[in-house]
Amino acid sequence: MIRYNKLGYVALNVTDLEKSKDFYENIVGLEPTSQVGNEAAFFTCSRDHHNIILYQGEEPGLVRVGLEVESSEQLDIAFEHFSKAGLNPQEVEREELKLLGQGRSIRVQEPNTGLLFELYSDIVQLGKEFKPKLTKIARLGHFAIFANEFDSALKFFTDVMNFKVSDYIEDSVVFMRIFPNPYHHTFTLAKGDERLHHVNFMASDIDDIGTARNRMLNNEVPIVFGPGRHSPSGAIFLYFLDPDQMTLEYSFGMEEFPEMNPRKPKSLEHSLEILDMWGGKPDPRMSSVGRIFGKEVSAVD
């Protein structure tokens, strides 16, 4: 089965690229790396060429998710696996690969939500390490979506994508890791109308959560949940909205799983205490915006 290194990048549609560029650089704290005219902008929080791509579009939402696999051989394994599953995987064209700074990459669509995944093993490494100017972002952490066909989508992610379940919240939320990546969750699936739930950045210091809260307040950025502490992963969190009202999260700390003999998943009740051990409540605006496009969006015509 497919073996992954990490969540590589998340690509988003935004309705005002210039405004969002400023936000993701000067509020979120990402480093801009390149731009394709007025169509796309690339940002990093690592040595990789990009961890976030912003595309100019008419409607905000989730375009695709990039997953880095362990080796080029894993791409061959994945392509054959997806083909046998009847998913018609596609090779990314060379012209677009040049803009992405990636080696061979393949794309496949999840049939229930239309979520587009891109798998690759090689990406351009920048000349210098990422130096945080605001929040000390350690990595792009995870992403979450809603799905109407919850059970079918869960079966796809576990049986086809080889994601491993870490914990459940009854029959409405599943936390999954991309095997053998150790973090409690790289992906969360929740029951509901198809849309983006949130995109997460993991911070390296608990103080980052507090200073980020004050930065959001000082810049009139809506905070929609937190600071608080999630029961499933143990992470301390802060959720806030970007200029299109899509939900982003900073978090600190997370349970890690060994590759061999991990603990079995826990079944947790659906309660506010599970969502936040400190007793907070999410704002209704949280996770309310962000279409899943279900088609390829590219800066290459």
Indicate if 114 and 145 belong to the same structural domain.
no
Collect the ranges in the chain with pLDDT lower than 70. Answer: 295-301
Indicate if 226 and 162 belong to the same structural domain.
yes
Q: DSSP assignment of 211-238, as one string?
A: HHHHHHHHTTPPEEEEEEE-TTT--EEE
**Is residue 233 a part of any domain in this protein?**
yes
Burial of 260 (0-12, 13-18, 19+ CB in 10 A): exposed
**pTM to 2 decimals?**
0.95
Q: Which domain holds residue 280?
A: 137-291
Residue 295's pLDDT is 56
- Asked, as a colleague might, if the bond just before 180 is cis with ω within 30 of 0, I would say yes
Number of domains in the chain: 2
Residue 159's pLDDT is 96
Indicate if 101 and 244 belong to the same structural domain.
no
Indicate if 222 and 278 belong to the same structural domain.
yes
**Is residue 8 a part of any domain in this protein?**
yes
Q: What are the tens digits of pLDDT across the range 186-236?
A: 999 999 999 999 999 999 999 999 999 999 999 999 999 999 999 888 899
**Is residue 128 a part of any domain in this protein?**
no
Indicate if 219 and 257 belong to the same structural domain.
yes
Residue 39's pLDDT is 96
Outline where DSSP puts E strands in 150-193: 163-169, 173-178, 187-191
Helix (H) or strand (E) holding 140: strand 137-147
**Is residue 299 a part of any domain in this protein?**
no
Indicate if 96 and 53 belong to the same structural domain.
yes
User: What phi, psi does 123 have (nearest 5°)?
Assistant: -145, 145
Indicate if 246 and 176 belong to the same structural domain.
yes
CA 201, CA 213: separation in Å to the nearest integer?
A: 14
Indicate if 210 and 239 belong to the same structural domain.
yes
Indicate if 285 and 167 belong to the same structural domain.
yes
Structural domain ending residue among the three candidates 66, 100, 123: 123
**Is residue 297 a part of any domain in this protein?**
no
**Is residue 129 a part of any domain in this protein?**
no
**Is residue 219 a part of any domain in this protein?**
yes
Residue 299's pLDDT is 53
Indicate if 119 and 215 belong to the same structural domain.
no
**Is residue 296 a part of any domain in this protein?**
no
CATH number at residue 240: 3.10.180.10
Indicate if 119 and 145 belong to the same structural domain.
no
Indicate if 199 and 230 belong to the same structural domain.
yes
Structural domain ending residue among the three candidates 90, 123, 156: 123
Structural domain ending residue among the three candidates 61, 96, 123: 123
